[in-house]
Copies of this chain bind each other. A is one copy, B any other.
């Protein structure tokens, strides 16, 4: 297993659904599996993006913080960046960008997209940290802030997961954003126009790590949940 062909994932999207929001991996551990990544903090504490080994958090006030090694996360991805240039694009909407990328690569394996450029009418969100006892993902995510920018320079960092992994991962694209000025970012809800250079890194391996030392997770009975439809409600 080449480490540059491996996407690391801690936790699953599914475990967030009933509100298993304990932080079960530290940022230090996550960074051992990559210098690039995304995630959310314990209790859905903001939106994380790791660029060049630096873990930024966009909190629900819209503030950008560099988090410490002992910051914990219930769900996260990381990998070691080794992108190749894919193409340059001008003024593509999020849907156009997703379609363009899928037209140039396979939808049947995991990959990451990194795009530096100018983004117009970009909308992001960050959830407000909640505390134990946690509510469900749907309830917790109601407490979110939405941020808008007419035009901003920055980096879009995205992971794509094949449809069959939906629920374990986020099936399809999962986009996070950080501005060059480190004053705007979060989980991307949409954008009007993206102009810049798209880079692609394809993986052949998903290293799926589960929080087996967390009793709440291990003892939870997921069978009462329609996990996939809950996820699709909360992530869009």
Task: Show the binding face of A for B, using Cβ within 8 Å.
Answer: 1, 12, 14-15, 106-110, 162-165, 167-168, 202, 204-210, 212, 217-220, 222-223, 227
Contact = CB atoms under 8 A, between A and B. Distances in A.
Given A108-B222, A219-B106, A164 B12 contact: yes
A-B pairs, 6 with minimum CB distance:
A106-B218, A206-B208, A204-B212, A14-B164, A164-B167, A109-B210
A108 B220 contact: yes
Q: Helix, strand, loop or mixed for chain A's interface? A: mixed
A118 B212 CA distance: 32
Contact of A210 (B167, B205, B218): B205
30 contacts: A1-B207, A1-B209, A12-B164, A14-B164, A15-B108, A106-B212, A106-B218, A108-B210, A108-B217, A108-B218, A108-B220, A108-B222, A109-B210, A109-B212, A163-B222, A163-B223, A164-B222, A164-B227, A165-B168, A168-B168, A202-B212, A204-B209, A204-B210, A204-B212, A205-B208, A205-B209, A206-B206, A206-B207, A207-B207, A208-B208
